[in-house]
């Protein structure tokens, strides 16, 4: 949604509304487009210069451009390219439901697609090995915690808002952010907000890997941004404490998930080193 808001507000953008076959496969998840590019993985040595064309983006050339970057990509992005960071946080349950809906749409599109000669698995199986090898709740935690830690470390200009608050009070949330960014046309940007785009409501996650206490802290984490309050020092201490508990769980779940995917590739006939290389490439493309 922020890419739709910012582009309508007059900023040029890097990317395309739909990459690859996304318009056919997952458009329902975001009817107005995703506005992504390979740079969603970050602007750093592996993506800039472009490894295929050699084209180089100079920081001065893109100061007034907007780019959608995933949180791991932001963490990797060279500081010279960061002018303003606008992020959105959703309640963890809604995130889990939303990402699973996206995967279901992709699976439905791919389930009858024939296997490509150059790939060891069917398209649907290849898509699945590109996905994070952990529960979405843990993915939500890892990325949002990394975001806060990266901001606290590098101190760039940063504005993280609640998706629910944005839909509840678009003028109170969107207008200040667009002014902060120096948007040419605030009214056009504001007009992009559609409350009907919220598809996940009153979500129940019946396979949560979290304790009740951890779930409450996840809820509180989101609520700070819904209330638009700064994170307190005591709450940051809580975040650091729960991360010390969850980090090894996330690492182990990721390790087991990668092993499962490696086994799938080896069962398809690949040697171990071939499976490792295929898995590494798939994760890079995911």
What is the pLDDT, as a whole number, of residue 122? 94
Omega before 170 within 30 of 0, i.e. cis: no
What is the pLDDT, as a whole number, of residue 282? 80
Number of domains in the chain: 1
In contact, 51 and 41? CB cutoff 8 Å: no
Rounded Cα distance, 234 and 225, in Å: 16
What is the pLDDT, as a whole number, of residue 283? 75
The residues, any chain, with a CB within 8 Å of residue 132's CB and separated by 6 or more, are 139, 254, 257, 286
3-state secondary structure of 67: strand
What is the pLDDT, as a whole number, of residue 281? 82
Rounded Cα distance, 210 and 216, in Å: 10
What is the pLDDT, as a whole number, of residue 198? 63
Stated pTM of the model: 0.91
Domain span at 144: 2-285
In contact, 123 and 78? CB cutoff 8 Å: no
Positions of the chain with pLDDT lower than 70, given as ranges: 196-200, 286
């Amino acid at each position: 949604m922020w890419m739709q808001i910012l582009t309508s507000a007059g900023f040029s953008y890097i990317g395309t509304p739909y990459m690859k076959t996304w318009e056919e496969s997952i458009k329902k998840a975001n009817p107005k487009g995703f506005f992504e590019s390979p740079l969603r993985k970050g602007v750093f040595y592996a993506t800039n210069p472009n490894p295929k064309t050699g084209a180089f983006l100079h920081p001065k050339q893109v100061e007034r451009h907007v780019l959608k970057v995933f949180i791991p990509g932001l963490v990797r992005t060279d500081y010279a390219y960061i002018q303003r960071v606008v992020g959105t946080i959703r309640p963890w349950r809604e995130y889990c439901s939303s990402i699973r809906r996206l995967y279901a749409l992709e699976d439905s599109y791919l389930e009858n697609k024939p296997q490509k000669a150059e790939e060891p698995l069917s398209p649907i199986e290849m898509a699945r090995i590109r996905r994070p090898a952990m529960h979405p709740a843990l993915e939500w935690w890892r990325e949002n915690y990394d975001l806060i830690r990266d901001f606290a470390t590098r101190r760039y200009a940063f504005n993280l808002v609640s998706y629910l608050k944005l839909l509840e009070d678009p003028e109170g949330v969107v207008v200040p952010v667009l002014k902060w960014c120096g948007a040419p046309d605030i009214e056009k940007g504001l007009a992009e907000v559609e409350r009907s785009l919220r598809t996940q409501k009153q979500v129940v996650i019946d396979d949560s890997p979290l304790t009740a206490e951890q779930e409450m802290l996840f809820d509180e984490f989101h609520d700070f941004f819904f209330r638009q309050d700064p994170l307190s020092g005591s709450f940051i201490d809580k975040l650091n404490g729960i991360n010390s508990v969850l980090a090894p769980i996330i690492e182990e779940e990721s390790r087991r998930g990668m092993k499962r995917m490696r086994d799938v590739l080896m069962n398809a006939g690949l040697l171990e080193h071939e499976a490792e290389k295929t898995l590494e490439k798939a994760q890079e493309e995911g």
